[in-house]
């Protein structure tokens, strides 16, 4: 059974700082890995999708990496802004493309 863990659970940084969010998973037989953002009381916004054959994806200030053999992914956020404050969720796609989610990292970027 796939288990996904995100560290840290919460993070507070000053504006402008570069930061890394970590995600680990127990079963390396994955289809893909997807990073989401969730704002309070809102739905999920897809940030980046990495297929199992890829090692990284970039979108603007975001860069996500995938190391299947070690069961790890990182989300790098450059030059953080207060608008980046949200909960970031890592999800691993398995059989049936069903996603297994981590518990999330609550990020607060202070002005």
Partner 1 sequence: DTAVSQTPKYLVTQMGNDKSIKCEQNLGHDTMYWYKQDSKKFLKIMFSYNNKELIINETVPNRFSPKSPDKAHLNLHINSLELGDSAVYFCASSQDLFSRELDNEQFFGPGTRLTVL
Phi-psi sector, 9: left (phi>0), alpha (psi -120 to 50), beta: alpha
Q: CA separation (Å) from 45 to 34, 70, 105?
A: 10, 26, 15
CB of 15 to partner 1, least distance (A): 25
Nearest CA among 6, 12, 22 for reference residue 82: 12
Under rule CB under 8 A, which residues in 24-83 are in contact with partner 1? 31-32, 34, 36, 42-46, 49, 51-52
Is residue 99 part of the contact set for partner 1 (CB under 8 A)?
Answer: yes
Is residue 111 part of the contact set for partner 1 (CB under 8 A)?
Answer: no
Footprint on this chain of partner 1 (rule: CB under 8 A): 31-32, 34, 36, 42-46, 49, 51-52, 87, 89, 91, 93, 95-101, 103-104
């Amino acid at each position: 059974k796939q288990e996904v863990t995100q560290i840290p659970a919460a993070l507070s940084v000053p504006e402008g700082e570069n930061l890394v969010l970590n995600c680990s998973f127990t079963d390396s037989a994955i289809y893909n890995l997807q990073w989401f953002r969730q704002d309070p009381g809102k739905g999920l916004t897809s940030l980046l999708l990495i297929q199992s054959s890829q090692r990284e994806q970039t979108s603007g200030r975001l860069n996500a990496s995938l190391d299947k053999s070690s069961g790890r992914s990182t989300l790098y956020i450059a030059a953080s802004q207060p608008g980046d404050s949200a909960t970031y969720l890592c999800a691993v796609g398995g059989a049936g493309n069903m996603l297994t989610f981590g518990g999330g990292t609550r990020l607060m970027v202070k002005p």
